[in-house]
């Protein structure tokens, strides 16, 4: 399955502005996961041309969830994927520590979303 392209900054800006119009700047910043509503205001005004990577990632995740809705992958599929990742991560004994650490990061990311 091909990865979906990330939304452009203008698409993000428009979508976020619509959400702010429906609620408030502070509520939208919290919903997106941005710590500073002032930073969000600057982004909406176009004063921020390139958001910080963490901020951009939070905006992308918010947008995808808002447009596509919550994922509907059955839990058993997720468990199977995690099991496969564990097997893969342990195959290379030389990089075991790195692979296990990476696996932990992947599992955390999956469960946090």
The CA distance from 45 to 108, in Å, is 34
What residues have CB less than 8 Å from 17, skipping those under 6 apart?
A: 44
Burial degree of 30 (CB within 10 A; 0-12, 13-18, 19+): middle
The CA distance from 48 to 70, in Å, is 29
The CA distance from 42 to 13, in Å, is 11
Is residue 82 pLDDT above 70, yes or no? yes
pTM for the predicted model, two decimal places: 0.60
Q: Check residue 1 and give its pLDDT.
A: 40
pLDDT band at 58 (very low <50, low <70, confident <90, very high): very high
């Amino acid at each position: 399955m091909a990865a979906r392209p990330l939304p452009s900054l203008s698409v993000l800006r428009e979508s976020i502005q619509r959400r702010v119009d429906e609620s408030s700047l502070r509520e939208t910043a919290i919903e997106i996961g941005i710590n500073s509503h002032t930073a969000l205001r600057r982004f909406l005004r176009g004063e921020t041309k390139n958001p910080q990577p963490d901020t951009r990632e939070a905006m992308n995740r918010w947008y995808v969830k808002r447009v596509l809705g919550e994922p509907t992958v059955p839990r058993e599929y997720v468990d199977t994927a995690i099991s496969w990742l564990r097997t893969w991560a342990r195959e290379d004994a030389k990089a075991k520590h790195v692979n296990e650490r990476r696996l932990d990061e992947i599992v955390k990311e999956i469960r946090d979303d």
